[in-house]
A and B are shown apart, each in its own frame.
Chain A
C-alpha cells in the first residue's frame, strides 16, 4: 500500500520531469564578420527593454565569441562603432527570437550590394548519425567569388560551396569523420587548413580577408559524443533499494502463538494456583 503510493508519487515526479524536459534556455554567440578596420561594440537587449542584457566591447573583424546561454524569448541585437556611447543610435540592429534548446550566431556581414547587415544564423545542434556537419561563411569581401572544398571521403560533397559571393552563408553539409584538408579558393587568394572532424560535431568554417590573402577560421558550433552509448546505465545493485512493506501475517502468527502459550500457561497456573500456593507459601510464625 505504502509502496504503491510511493510508486505513484515517483511516477508523477518522473512524468512531470518528462513533460517539461525542454529547457527554457537557448544559446547566442556574437561576432564580427564585416570587414572594417574599426571594431564594434555589440549589445543584446530583451525585446522592449532599453537596458542591455549582454554587452561585448571591441569585437574586431574575424572574431566570433563563445556561445552564451540566454533565456528563450525575443531580443534585439545592436552594434555601434567601438567606443561610441551606449545611448547613441546603433549602426545596425536585428531582431532575434531565441527558442529553447536552439543556438544562434549574430554577426554583421558585408555583401556586394550592402556595406553591412546584421545577420541571424540558425545554428544546428543535430547531426546525421555518425557524421559531422560543416557550413561555410564567405566573409572575405575582397574575394568576389569563392569555392570551398573539403578533401572528404568518396560520397561526401567535395565542394561545400561553389562560387560563393561575399556575405553568403552555405547550408550545413554532412561530412564523414576524419582528418581533412579544407581549402578556400577565391578569385585572387587561396588558403588551406587541416581540420579533424569527429562524428556528431557541427562546425562553421569562416573565410576572412587576412593580412596576406584569405584565412580560414575553424569554429565549433556544437560537439556530441562521437559514439553515443546505447540506452541507460546500470549503476545500482539494490543494496539501498526500498523493500516493500513485509506482510504482517508472520508477526501476527508469532503474537498469536505467544498469546496461546501465555493463555494456556495462565489457565494452568490459575487452576493449580491455590493448592500449590498453599504449599508454596510457608506459614510465617513469628516470635518476638
Chain B
C-alpha cells in the first residue's frame, strides 16, 4: 500500500495536468476579451424627400448655453461633461477620468452653428470607458446634450467613421460647417502595446434635429 499510493497519485496528477493544459489551450484559443465591433463604416443619412413646409426660421445669433450632460440612450451613455482645452503641443486634451466625457471649449457649443466636439475614453487600463460602445451607433440614432440653462438639444447621427490617427481628418471634424453639428470622438482599431495607444480614432458625426 505505501508503495502503490505514490504511483497512483502521480498517475492521477498527470491526468489532471493534461486536463489543465487542454483547458488552458481551449480557453485561450479566442482573442480575449472579445474585440469591439468595427464602426459601421460609411453611413450618410438620407435627407428626407417628403416636402418640408416650414415657417421661416431665421439664422440664430444668440449663443447656446454651455453643455453639462451628454445622453446617448441607445448605448447607455449618461455622463457629465467636463471642459477640455489643448495640450502644450496643440493636441486635444482628454478627460483624466475614463468614465466621463469632455467638451472642447475651443470650438462651438452644442446647438450653435459649427461642430461641437465631445471626447471620451473607449477604455481604461482594466475595463470599458465611457465611450466603449460609441462605434455601435448608426445613422439616425439620437444623441442629447443638456445645457446649463436646462435646455436640451437633440442631434441625429449622420455618419460613423474610423480613421488612423496618422490620417486624422482635421478639416472634416473641426472645420467650418453651416449648421449646428456634433462630433463624438474616441479610440478604436488596433492597440499598440508598445506605445500604449490605439492606432485609430472613431468619429461619430451628428447634426442638430431641426
Residue-wise interface mask of B (124-136) relative to A, using a CB-CB cutoff of 8 A (1 in contact, 0 not): 1111110110000
Residue-wise interface mask of A (217-260) relative to B, using a CB-CB cutoff of 8 A (1 in contact, 0 not): 01111111111111111111111111111101011111111111
User: Is residue B73 contacting chain A, with contact meaning CB distance below 8 A?
Assistant: no
B94 near A233: Cβ-Cβ < 8 Å: yes
For residue B41, which residues in chain A have a CB less than 8 angstroms away from its CB?
13, 16-17
Residue-wise interface mask of A (1-43) relative to B, using a CB-CB cutoff of 8 A (1 in contact, 0 not): 0110011011001101110110111010100000000000000
A265 near B8: Cβ-Cβ < 8 Å: yes
A235 near B120: Cβ-Cβ < 8 Å: yes
Query: Which of A25, A59, A240 has the largest count of B CB atoms less than 10 A from its CB?
Result: A240
Residue-wise interface mask of B (178-191) relative to A, using a CB-CB cutoff of 8 A (1 in contact, 0 not): 11000001111111
A263 near B197: Cβ-Cβ < 8 Å: no
Chain A interface, number of residues (Cβ within 8 angstroms): 99
User: Is residue A63 contacting chain B, with contact meaning CB distance below 8 A?
Assistant: yes
Chain B interface, number of residues (Cβ within 8 angstroms): 113
B178 near A14: Cβ-Cβ < 8 Å: no
For residue B191, which residues in chain A have a CB less than 8 angstroms away from its CB?
236, 238, 241-242
Q: Whole-angstrom distance between the alpha carbons of A214 and B57 in the complex?
A: 23
Which of A226, A254, A264 touches B107 (beta carbons < 8 Å)?
A: A226
The interface-forming segment of A49-57, A138-146, A155-163 is: A49-57
Q: Whole-angstrom distance between the alpha carbons of A145 and B159 in the complex?
A: 47
For residue A65, which residues in chain B have a CB less than 8 angstroms away from its CB?
56-59
Given A27-B178, A231-B91, A276-B4, 17 more contacts at CB 8 Å? Answer: A2-B31, A14-B164, A14-B189, A14-B200, A21-B42, A53-B51, A66-B57, A71-B47, A225-B114, A227-B90, A240-B33, A240-B128, A244-B31, A245-B30, A251-B28, A261-B11, A272-B4
**Which residues of A does B touch, CB under 8 Å?**
2-3, 6-7, 9-10, 13-14, 16-18, 20-21, 23-25, 27, 29, 46, 51-60, 63-71, 103, 123, 125-127, 200-202, 218-246, 248, 250-266, 268-269, 272, 276, 279-280
